[in-house]
């Protein structure tokens, strides 16, 4: 099949590389976001240029000149591999078999741009990815295929994305294209009664509320590691928490956010229902590991919301 790939960053590059080097499909064009001054060149752009694959960079997918150029390619399918812009119907319908899109959740659950963050923050034990046919609504198109992955109790956002969804998603994009090429692709309507939507997980969403249960705080930290980083205050300074563990203990009599103990490897903090242990923390000085910090500043006191 003659394939168009729209994508960005390492995931988009990895999908492009997989198709170009490991399949018989032909990549007839790559589209990515325009360059941003002071930021490094997008990896998908670098790969396309280095292999002389036609490249387009546009923020207007309704542009007539762009649409005419895409039509001239006589493509069979468009694959959206990590895309944060809407592709209008005028663009999506150009390829013979339309357009398919990767999304890192089990749709209709966790529609929106920070699907993996929220699945962990909300305490899910299972998530996954979906390849679907996009329409004019956010993440609402018919489903082509889905893959499940487990969220282990200690998994962070980085673990779930880079170790699980990323490699599985690259393979799933190829599998989906092969299903369409062979005439074996299905279209399953999403169950709107089960749909959930969350917006971007930003710093404002990542602020720790010490009045919540210890498990909720623990899930927030995991779901924001490495980005945007769950954070809190201590003596009017912001601290971001990363590597952490949670021990259930209903008998402790500490105030939520109260520092229980400090050693060279971790800070133990009282929370509702147990103890939170933090081994990697970031201050405005940028230090990351507790063993590398001057923990005397935490010797007495409490973190607060």
Domains and CATH numbers, the chain: 2-194 (3.40.50.170), 203-298 (3.10.25.10)
pLDDT at 300 > cutoff 80: no
The distance of Cα 222 from the centroid of its chain, to the nearest Å, equals 13
Check pLDDT > 90 for residue 227.
Answer: yes
Residue 110 pLDDT exceeds 80: yes
In this prediction, what percent of the chain has a pLDDT beyond 70? 100
* Of residues 44, 244, 79, 215, the one with CA closest to residue 157: 244
Is pLDDT above 90 for 238?
yes
Distance CA 75, CA 95 (A): 5
Sequence-distant (≥ 6) Cβ neighbours of residue 1 within 8 angstroms? 25, 26, 76, 77, 97, 177, 180, 181
At 34 the pLDDT is 94
Determine the average pLDDT of the residues in 197-214. Answer: 97
Cα–Cα dist 288/196, whole Å: 34
Q: Which residues 6+ apart lie within 8 Å of 246 measured at CB?
A: 214, 215, 217, 218, 271, 274, 275, 276, 277
The answer on pLDDT for 293 being more than 90 is no
Chain segment 246-274, per-residue pLDDT in tens: 999 988 788 999 999 999 899 999 999 99
Cβ atoms 149, 160 nearer than 8 A = yes
Q: Higher-confidence residue: 98 or 295?
A: 98
Averaged pLDDT for residues 25-46: 95
Predicted confidence (pLDDT) at residue 44 exceeds the cutoff of 90: yes
pLDDT at 85 over 90: no
Residue 147, SS3 per DSSP: strand
Look up the pTM and report it: 0.95
**For residue 299, what pLDDT is reported?**
81
Question: What is the percent of the chain where pLDDT is above 90?
Answer: 88
Residue 251's pLDDT is 85
């Amino acid at each position: 099949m003659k394939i168009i790939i729209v994508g960005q960053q390492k995931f988009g590059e990895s999908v492009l590389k997989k198709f170009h080097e490991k399949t018989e499909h032909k990549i007839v064009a790559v589209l990515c976001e325009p360059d941003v001054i002071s930021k490094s060149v997008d990896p998908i752009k670098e790969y396309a240029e280095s292999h002389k694959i036609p490249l387009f960079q546009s923020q207007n997918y309704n542009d007539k000149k762009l649409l005419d150029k895409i039509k001239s390619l006589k493509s069979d399918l468009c694959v959206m591999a990590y895309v944060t812009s809407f592709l209008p119907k005028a663009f999506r319908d150009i390829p013979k078999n339309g357009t398919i899109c990767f999304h890192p959740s089990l749709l209709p659950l966790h529609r929106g741009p920070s699907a993996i963050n929220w699945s962990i923050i909300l305490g899910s034990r299972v998530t996954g990815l979906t390849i679907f046919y996009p329409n004019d609504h956010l993440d609402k198109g018919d489903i082509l295929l889905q893959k499940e992955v487990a969220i282990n109790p200690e998994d962070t956002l980085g673990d779930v994305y880079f170790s699980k969804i990323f490699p599985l998603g690259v393979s799933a994009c190829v599998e989906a294209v092969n299903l369409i090429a062979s005439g074996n692709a299905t279209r399953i309507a999403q169950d709107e009664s089960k749909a959930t939507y969350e917006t971007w997980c930003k710093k404002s969403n990542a602020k720790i509320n010490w009045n919540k249960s210890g498990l909720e705080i623990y899930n927030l930290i995991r779901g924001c590691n490495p980005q945007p980083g769950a954070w809190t205050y201590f003596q009017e300074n912001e601290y971001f928490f990363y590597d952490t563990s949670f021990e259930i203990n209903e008998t402790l009599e500490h105030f939520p956010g109260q520092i229980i103990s400090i050693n060279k490897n971790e800070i133990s903090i009282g929370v509702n229902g147990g103890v939170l242990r933090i081994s990697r923390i970031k201050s405005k000085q940028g230090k990351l590991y507790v063993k590398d910090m001057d923990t005397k500043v935490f010797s007495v006191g409490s973190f607060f919301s």
